[in-house]
C-alpha cells in the first residue's frame, strides 16, 4: 500500500470515530487540496452543519462532502424543488446537474440570494434533494472569456477529476528527506521588469511562482532550462503559483504544458480567466506580427484545465510541506500577494507579485498583514530614488486638462493601456468626469480586449471595492455600462472613421506600444499635431513606449515584417499617478507598516537602479537585510 493510501486509511478511521453511526461514510479520497467524503446520507450531513467544521479542524484539511450517486433525487425532480427553494429575486438562469460528483451548478444573477444567510439556503437544498449546490454568477456584462472557460471546464469534468485526484495524492504524499532548508532561485525579473519567475524549494518540494515574458524583448524567456526549474524534465516541479494575469507574469505558463508539465496552477478565479484572455490575445498578436507564437492555443486550455482556483485568505496545502494563502495585492483584478508557510512553523515567505499600496477606485490597497513572514520578495517597479508619483487627484486633474486641450483643438487623446486594470480605472475616472461635467461628453473607444476585460471584472465583483460592487449590481448605475463607452468591433475601417471624426478618447492595448491595435492608432494619429498620446503606465526598457518618452520623432508602423515609419507629430504626455504599481513611497509604506516586520527582503521586478535604490534605502531606513538579486541566483533561508 502506498503511503498516501495508508494515510487515507488513518483519516477514514478518524472520520468513522467522529461521525455518528447513523450517518454512513462510503469512501474518502483526495481531490487537489481537498479531502472528499462520500456518503449515502448527504441530507444528514447538511443537517449537521457543525460536523464538517469539526472534521476539518480535527483533520486540518479542507473537506467536501459528496453524495453517492444513487441516493440523489432525479435531476428533473430536483430542479423543480431547487427553483422552489430559491427566492425569485436571485435571478436563477440555469441549473447543471453533474451525476459524477452529485453537484448542481446554479447560475444566477445574484449568487448571494441563492446562498442565503451563512449558506442556509444551500443547506436546505441538500437536505431536500441530496445534491450539493455550487453557485456561479451570471455576469452583468456578457463575457465570452468567462463563458468559454465555464463551458470548457464543464466539458472537461472527467479529465479534471483525474488531474485533481493525482494532484491530491501528490500533495498528501509522505515527505522523504531529512534535510531542512528553504531556497529561492531567481529565473527572471531580477534587475529588469518582465519575465517574472521564481522557484521556491525545500528538500521535498519545488514551486514555480509566475512564468512571464518580457515586454518589448525578442522572446526573452525566464531561465526555465536550468536544473532547478525544468532542466531535468517537468517532474520536479510540484506546483505553479500565479500572482496575477499580466503577461510579464503569466505569458509562459501555458508553455510549461508544452514542456510536459502536468501539475496544478494555483491562482484566483479571475486570474485564471484573465490569463486565458491575455495569453490567447498574446498568441493572436504574435501571429498578426508575423512572429511564431510560443505555443499553441491548446496549451492555454491545458493551463485552464490544470488551474485550482483559490480565494483570498484560504490556507491551502499545496505540497506535503507547503501551505499557500493568497491575499489581495490591489494591482489588478484577482492579483495576489502569495504567502507560503513552509514546514510545521519552519519558515514563511511572501511574494508580493505586483502591488498597489493605496486604495484605488477599483481595489483596496495590498494586504501586508500576515501571521508570520521571514522573507519578502518585493516588486520594485517604482523603487528608484525619484520614483515618487503625484497623487491620483492631481493626476486626474492633469489628465482632464489634456483631454480638454485636445478637445479644444478638435484632436483625439490616445491612451495606451494594459487591457486589464488601468483601463477599468480610467473608465471609472472618465465616466465620473463626464457625469460631473468636468470634461465634455465624448466617445471613449475601447480597443483590443479592454471591453472583454471589463466584462470579466463585472463577473467577479467580490474582488472589487465595496462601493463599486454595489454600483455594478445596479444596472442603471453600473459605470461600465455608461453610453459613451464604445468597444471597437469594426476593425481598421471603424478606426479610420474615428480618426477622421470628431474629438474622442481612445483606450487601446498594448500598454507599452509593443504591438496590438495601439499600433494602428499610432499610424492614424501619429502625424496629427492636434491629438495627444498620453502614457499613464510604466514603460519598460526596450519598448516603443519608452523610446517615445525619450523623444524619438518617428515611429515604426505595420508588423515586424515591414520597416515603414510615420512622423510623430502628435503631442506626447505622461500622467504618472494612474499606475497599478505602488510608487516609491507606497513600497516604503508597504514595508514600514508590514506586520510582522520581515527579516529579509529581495527587491525584484524593477530596473537595476530601481532595485538597488530600494534595496539600499530599505536597509538604511528600516534596518532590514535586503538584496537586489540577479537572475539565476539562489538564496538560502533556514
The residues of the shown chain that bind its own copies, judged by CB under 8 A, are 177, 179, 181, 183, 185, 201, 203, 206, 223, 225-228, 231-233, 236, 630-636
Q: Cβ 219 to its own copies, closest distance in Å?
A: 11
Contact 594, 373 (CB under 8 A): yes
Is 244 marked as binding a ligand? yes
Q: Cβ 249 to Zn ion, closest distance in Å?
A: 5
Is 341 marked as binding a ligand? no
Residues 6+ apart with CB under 8 A from 384: 584, 606, 607, 609, 610, 613, 614
Of the pair 228, 576, the CB lying nearest its own copies is at 228
Of the pair 354, 523, the CB lying nearest Zn ion is at 354
Q: Cβ 245 to Zn ion, closest distance in Å?
A: 8
Cα–Cα distance, 192 to 607 (Å, whole number): 4
Q: Which does 246 bind (CB under 5 to 8 A by kind): Zn ion, its own copies, none?
A: Zn ion
For 510-548, give the DSSP string. -TTSSSSTHHHHHHHHTT-TTSEEEE-S---TTSHHHHH
Is 354 marked as binding a ligand? yes
Of the pair 340, 538, the CB lying nearest Zn ion is at 538
Of 241, 546, 212, 581, which Cα lies nearest the Cα of 380?
Answer: 581
Cα–Cα distance, 69 to 335 (Å, whole number): 37
Of the listed pieces 57-65, 115-123, 168-176, 348-356, which binds Zn ion according to CB under 5 A?
A: 348-356
Contact 265, 239 (CB under 8 A): yes
Is 408 marked as binding a ligand? no
HSE value, Cβ hemisphere, 13 Å, CA-based, for 523: 16
| Residue from the set 31, 354, 425, 431 that interacts with Zn ion by CB under 5 A | 354
Of the pair 233, 371, the CB lying nearest its own copies is at 233
Q: Cβ 244 to its own copies, closest distance in Å?
A: 27
Q: Cβ 183 to its own copies, closest distance in Å?
A: 6
| Residue from the set 34, 41, 124, 248 that interacts with Zn ion by CB under 5 A | 248
Of the pair 100, 180, the CB lying nearest its own copies is at 180
Contact 352, 379 (CB under 8 A): yes
Q: Which does 354 bind (CB under 5 to 8 A by kind): its own copies, Zn ion, none?
A: Zn ion
Of the pair 95, 237, the CB lying nearest its own copies is at 237
CA distances to 214, 219, 285, 366, 561 from 291, rounded to whole Å, are 15, 10, 9, 37, 9
Looking at the DSSP bridge assignments, the partners of residue 34 are 31, 62
Q: Phi, psi at residue 199, to the nearest 5°?
A: -110, 125
Residues 6+ apart with CB under 8 A from 601: 375, 376, 377, 378, 591, 615, 618, 624, 625, 626, 627
Residues 6+ apart with CB under 8 A from 298: none
Is 457 marked as binding a ligand? no
Q: Phi, psi at residue 577, to the nearest 5°?
A: -85, 0
Pairing of strands 182-188, 197-201: antiparallel
Does 262 engage in binding with Zn ion (CB under 5 A)? yes
Does 210 engage in binding with Zn ion (CB under 5 A)? no
Q: Cβ 262 to Zn ion, closest distance in Å?
A: 4
Count the site residues for Zn ion by CB under 5 A: 4
Q: Which does 151 bind (CB under 5 to 8 A by kind): its own copies, Zn ion, none?
A: none
Q: Which does 232 bind (CB under 5 to 8 A by kind): its own copies, Zn ion, none?
A: its own copies
Is 339 marked as binding a ligand? no
Does 452 engage in binding with Zn ion (CB under 5 A)? no
Of 102, 170, 113, 165, which Cα lies nearest the Cα of 137?
Answer: 113
Cα–Cα distance, 208 to 588 (Å, whole number): 27
Helix (H) or strand (E) segment spanning residue 122: helix 120-129
Q: Cβ 622 to its own copies, closest distance in Å?
A: 23
Q: Which does 262 bind (CB under 5 to 8 A by kind): Zn ion, its own copies, none?
A: Zn ion
Residue 100 DSSP class: T
Q: Cβ 228 to its own copies, closest distance in Å?
A: 5
Of the pair 233, 491, the CB lying nearest its own copies is at 233
| Binding-site positions for Zn(2+) | 244, 246, 248-249, 331, 354, 605
The footprint of Zn ion (CB under 5 A) covers 246, 248, 262, 354
Amino acid at each position: 500500500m502506498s503511503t498516501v493510501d495508508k494515510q487515507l486509511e488513518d483519516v477514514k478511521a478518524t472520520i468513522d470515530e467522529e461521525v455518528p453511526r447513523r450517518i454512513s461514510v462510503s469512501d474518502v479520497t483526495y481531490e487537489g487540496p481537498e479531502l472528499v467524503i462520500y456518503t449515502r446520507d448527504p441530507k444528514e450531513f447538511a443537517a449537521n452543519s457543525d460536523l464538517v467544521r469539526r472534521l476539518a479542524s480535527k483533520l486540518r484539511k479542507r473537506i467536501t462532502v459528496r453524495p453517492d450517486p444513487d441516493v440523489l433525487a432525479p435531476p428533473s425532480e430536483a430542479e423543480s424543488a431547487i427553483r422552489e427553494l430559491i427566492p425569485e429575486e436571485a435571478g436563477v438562469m440555469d441549473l447543471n446537474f453533474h451525476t459524477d460528483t452529485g453537484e448542481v451548478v446554479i447560475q444566477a444573477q445574484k449568487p448571494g440570494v441563492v446562498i442565503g444567510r451563512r449558506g442556509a439556503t444551500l443547506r436546505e437544498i441538500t437536505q431536500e434533494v441530496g445534491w450539493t449546490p455550487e453557485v456561479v454568477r451570471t455576469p452583468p456584462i456578457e463575457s465570452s472569456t468567462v463563458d468559454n472557460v465555464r463551458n470548457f471546464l464543464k466539458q472537461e469534468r472527467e479529465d479534471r477529476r483525474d488531474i485533481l485526484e493525482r494532484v491530491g495524492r501528490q500533495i498528501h504524499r509522505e515527505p522523504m528527506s531529512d534535510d531542512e532548508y528553504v531556497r529561492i532561485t531567481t529565473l527572471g525579473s531580477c534587475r529588469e521588469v518582465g519575465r517574472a519567475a521564481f522557484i521556491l524549494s525545500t528538500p521535498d518540494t519545488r514551486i514555480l511562482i509566475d512564468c512571464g515574458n518580457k515586454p518589448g524583448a525578442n522572446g526573452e524567456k525566464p531561465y526555465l532550462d536550468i536544473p532547478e526549474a525544468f532542466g531535468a524534465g517537468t517532474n520536479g516541479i510540484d506546483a505553479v503559483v500565479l500572482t496575477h494575469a499580466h503577461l510579464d507574469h503569466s505569458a509562459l505558463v501555458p508553455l510549461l504544458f508544452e514542456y510536459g508539465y502536468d501539475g496544478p496552477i494555483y491562482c484566483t478565479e479571475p486570474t485564471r480567466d484573465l490569463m486565458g484572455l491575455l495569453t490567447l490575445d498574446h498568441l493572436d498578436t504574435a501571429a498578426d506580427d508575423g512572429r511564431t507564437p510560443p505555443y499553441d492555443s491548446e496549451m492555454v486550455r491545458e493551463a485552464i484545465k490544470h488551474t485550482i482556483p483559490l480565494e483570498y485568505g484560504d490556507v491551502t496545502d499545496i505540497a506535503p510541506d507547503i501551505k499557500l494563502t493568497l491575499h489581495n495585492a490591489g494591482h489588478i483584478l484577482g492579483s495576489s500577494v502569495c504567502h507560503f508557510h513552509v514546514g510545521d512553523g519552519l519558515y514563511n515567505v511572501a511574494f508580493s507579485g505586483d502591488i498597489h499600496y493605496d486604495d484605488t477606485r477599483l481595489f483596496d490597497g495590498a494586504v501586508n498583514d500576515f501571521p508570520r513572514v521571514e522573507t519578502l520578495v518585493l516588486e520594485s517597479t517604482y523603487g528608484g530614488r525619484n520614483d515618487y508619483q503625484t497623487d491620483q487627484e492631481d493626476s486626474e486633474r492633469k489628465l482632464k486638462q489634456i483631454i480638454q486641450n485636445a478637445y479644444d483643438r478638435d484632436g483625439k487623446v490616445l491612451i495606451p493601456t494594459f487591457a486589464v486594470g488601468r483601463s477599468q480605472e480610467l473608465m471609472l475616472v472618465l465616466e465620473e468626469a463626464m457625469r460631473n461635467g468636468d470634461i465634455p461628453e465624448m466617445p471613449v473607444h475601447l480597443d483590443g480586449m479592454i471591453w472583454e476585460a471589463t466584462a470579466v471584472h463585472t463577473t467577479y465583483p467580490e474582488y472589487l471595492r465595496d462601493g463599486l460592487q454595489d454600483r455594478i449590481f445596479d444596472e442603471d448605475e453600473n459605470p461600465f455600462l455608461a453610453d459613451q463607452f464604445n468597444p471597437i468591433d469594426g476593425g481598421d475601417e471603424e478606426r479610420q472613421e474615428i480618426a477622421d471624426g470628431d474629438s474622442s478618447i481612445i483606450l487601446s492595448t498594448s500598454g507599452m506600444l509593443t504591438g496590438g491595435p495601439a499600433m494602428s492608432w499610432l499610424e492614424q494619429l501619429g502625424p496629427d499635431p492636434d491629438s495627444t498620446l498620453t502614457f499613464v503606465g510604466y514603460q519598460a526598457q526596450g519598448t516603443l513606449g519608452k523610446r517615445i518618452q525619450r523623444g524619438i520623432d518617428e515611429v515604426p508602423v505595420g508588423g515586424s515584417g515591414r520597416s515603414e515609419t510615420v512622423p510623430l507629430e502628435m503631442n506626447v504626455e505622461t500622467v504618472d499617478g494612474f499606475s497599478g504599481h505602488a510608487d516609491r513611497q507606497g513600497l516604503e509604506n508597504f514595508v514600514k507598516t508590514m506586520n510582522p516586520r520581515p527579516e529579509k527582503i529581495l527587491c525584484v521586478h524593477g530596473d537595476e537602479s530601481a532595485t538597488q535604490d530600494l534595496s539600499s534605502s530599505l536597509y538604511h531606513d528600516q534596518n532590514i537585510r535586503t538584496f537586489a538579486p540577479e537572475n539565476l541566483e539562489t538564496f538560502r533561508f533556514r
